[in-house]
Every structure is written in C-alpha cells, then in structure tokens.
Amino acid sequence: MSYQKLQTYKAAAVTPSDTADILHVETGDVQPCVLYVGVAGDLKVKTAGNNTVVFKNVPVGFLPVQVKQVFATGTAASEIIALW
C-alpha cells in the first residue's frame, strides 16, 4: 500500500443533514472534502461522484473519501470534521 500524506488548510464541524451539502468555510460553495470522525459509528455520505453509500462501523480517524454530504438518517458516527 502506498503512503499518502494528508494535508489540509481549512476545517469545519459537520452537521449531518438529509438535504444540505457541506459548504466550504471560506467560499460558501460545495467543495468535496475528506472527513475526520471523532466518535465511531455508521456514516452515510454522498461522494464527490454523487454516489450515496453507508460506511459501516467507521472507526475514529480519517475517512479518505471525497465527500459532499453527510446524511443525518443512516449516520450514527459523530464529532465529524470536514477538511479541505
């Protein structure tokens, strides 16, 4: 497996929503981000490619998937941070 260094320049808390995408903290538009999960659990997301998927039992740590939305329904993980 190759090593990939994660470097971010902005971060914001995520409020899961069944209707709203994650908005960039500076521009206010939708820019896919990676997530940090602070409390483990299931995580339902919409990816940058517009796929809706549930990651089961996500552990605490980084989710290296470009995400546009975190759904409230289907998400049990919490303390989620968006990183750009």
State the 10-residue block means of pLDDT for the chain, 84 residues long: 70 97 92 96 97 98 96 98 96
What's the pTM value of the predicted model, to 2 decimals?
0.90
Q: Identify residue 22 by its one-letter amino acid code.
A: I
Residue 38: per-residue pLDDT:
98
Is 39 inside a domain boundary? yes
Residue 77: per-residue pLDDT:
98
Residue 5: per-residue pLDDT:
64
Residue 2: per-residue pLDDT:
56
Residue 8: per-residue pLDDT:
82
Is 3 inside a domain boundary? no
Q: Which residues contact 6 (CB under 8 A, 6 or more apart)?
A: 34, 62, 64, 83
- In degrees and rounded to multiples of 5, residue 32 shows phi and psi of -55, 145
Residue 7: per-residue pLDDT:
79
Provide the number of structural domains found in the chain.
1
Is 4 inside a domain boundary? no
Q: Domain span at residue 69?
A: 11-83
